[in-house]
Amino acid sequence: MINKDFFQALDDLEAEKKINKETFIETLETALASAYKKMYGEAKNASVKLNPEKCTIKIYSYKTVVEEVTDPDKEISLEEARLIKKSYKIGDEVSQEESTKDFGRIAAQTAKQVVMQKLKEMERQIAVSELSEKEDELLTTIVKRIDNGTVYVQISGSHTEGVMLPSDQINGEKFNVGDRIKVYVKKIKDSFKGPQIQVTRSNIGFVRKLFELEIPEVANGDVIIKNIARDAGNRTKVAVYTEKPNLDAVGTCVGFRGQRIDTIVAELNGEKIDLIEYSEDPLEYIARALSPAKVVSVETNESLNASRVIVPDDKLSLAIGKSGQNVRLAARLTGWKIEVKPESSIQTVEKEEPQYELTELSEEDSFQNLDDLDVLEPLDED
């Protein structure tokens, strides 16, 4: 069967929908073979071969050469086989081209259904593959619809929409259909409905990508973001550093008259951003992380990965932050547990804490009731 229009349609599909023609031909051959078997019996061994160069479609049936035929659909006697070709012997496979003129309408419809289903699957796979390149990227999208707090956005350059759950939105943000908004592509997954893109504005990745967008030195690697701790809608701490001696990492991110950081803050709807200069010294890093509070001293216990920070009494509430937000973000940023204490509490403990000396005990002294022993006696103040 020769059908030039059919193969031209395959060329058009490859050009318009970016579907590899060879892959499509393999799928089509399987579908047509399935349709042929459905029409002439599932027991038949058959295959379909498409030749795009000659624009031909051929159907072949296969039978095994046996001494005694028990299954006519799959077997052929040695005598019959040698009528076709004298060299055939027991166990050989005989192929014969079948007529396609009786390949009726029902079989063609079955083939079409299988092909269309496979076509959709291939289109979906291509869409997922193309969209996967956008994962971990910042995109400008248009709000398409809002349903029970979930915002659906149109991804430019595709027919796919992104889904932004309420938990992925910045607290207090309100959107309207048609708004242009920036989103961070958090995850892309395939489903029976097609590829689903999960986007967010509350993720720390959103802040990182905004810095790369607005600050060229971050984008090219001159300034490195070491870590980010975020309470979306309220406050974000960003630790930055540079290996270039003549470059101020924090100042570079702030920009001339604060223009760079102000642009990022505006995109985050006024969310406060603390820029922290990263340090390899944990004492210095922890102290800086508690910005904007001033720190008197820092002590660390590496075995417990814990630290105690002393701050002036009038800076205690600032260091801790509302509902513990500042110290909590500092702990996330540095990776250390942080306990904040006012300076007065340490001074009071040192003043009231008595000093002791150890007295010797005789062998007759009992250890049953330690309250009766003057083992540790306060030193005379004189």
Could you say which DSSP state residue 332 is in? H
Residues 346, 349, 351, 353, Cα dihedral to 10°: -150
Q: How far apart are CA 35 and CA 194, in angstroms?
A: 27
Q: What is the pLDDT of residue 155?
A: 83
Is 60 in contact with 98 (CB distance < 8 Å)? yes
Q: Which long-range contacts (CB under 8 A, 24 or more apart) does 319-326 make?
A: 319/290, 319/293, 319/295, 321/235, 325/231, 325/234, 325/235, 326/235, 326/290, 326/293
Residue 262: exposure state from Cβ atoms within 10 A (0-12, 13-18, ≥19): middle
Domains of the chain, earliest start first: 4-130 (3.30.1480.10), 133-200 (2.40.50.140), 280-382 (3.30.300.20)
Question: CA 247 to CA 254: how far, in whole Å?
Answer: 13
* pLDDT tens readout for residues 328-382: 999 999 999 999 999 998 766 555 554 433 333 344 443 334 344 333 344 444 4
pLDDT the model gives residue 375: 38
- The closest of 205, 117, 193 to 160, measured between CA atoms, is 193
Mean pLDDT by 10 residues, the chain (382 residues): 69 74 78 77 75 81 88 87 90 83 63 72 72 83 93 82 92 92 88 78 96 96 97 96 95 96 95 96 96 94 94 94 95 96 76 44 40 40 44
pTM recorded for the entire structure: 0.65
